[in-house]
Homo-oligomer: A and B are copies of this chain.
Amino acid sequence: MTTTTDNILKRNQLSVTDSRKKILELFTANDGALAHSDIEKKTGEKFDRVTIYRTLQTFVEKGIIHTIPTVDNSVLYALCKMDCTEGHHHDNHVHFVCDNCNVTYCLDDVVTPKVNLPDGFKPKVMDVVVSGICKNC
């Protein structure tokens, strides 16, 4: 039998392993972003720290997930909803961090707004992180 996560893995030329399936499932089941520690907890410490690091790394390289810049300088990962290809991300969407429940959301439908930069500055990529209260709080 071939599940959805299996397909995603195969589509990206990745061999289908237990850890990759479980970690990918976590992302598809969750609509918020996940930190390394979240994954460690939610898998019940079943996998080695190193395995989780390497899995996340390959997922990022393949464009399956992307990293989110945070204010407190931790690394968060979230599914790429748009069709990201290897080496080229379309993650120019807005991220939202809830001050209350501390969950980070990718607001894929919210496009980043235009800003007027001073003379001589040529913009290419724009990262927007909004914090406040989320829809579930």
Contacts and interface: CB of A to CB of B under 8 A. Distances in A.
B115 A114 contact: no
Given A73-B75, A116-B110, A131 B123 contact: yes
B99 A121 contact: no
B127 A115 contact: no
B127 A129 contact: yes
Contacts of A136: 120
Given A107-B121, A113-B113, 15 more contacts: A69-B69, A94-B117, A110-B116, A110-B118, A120-B134, A121-B133, A121-B134, A122-B133, A123-B131, A123-B132, A126-B129, A126-B130, A126-B131, A127-B127, A127-B128
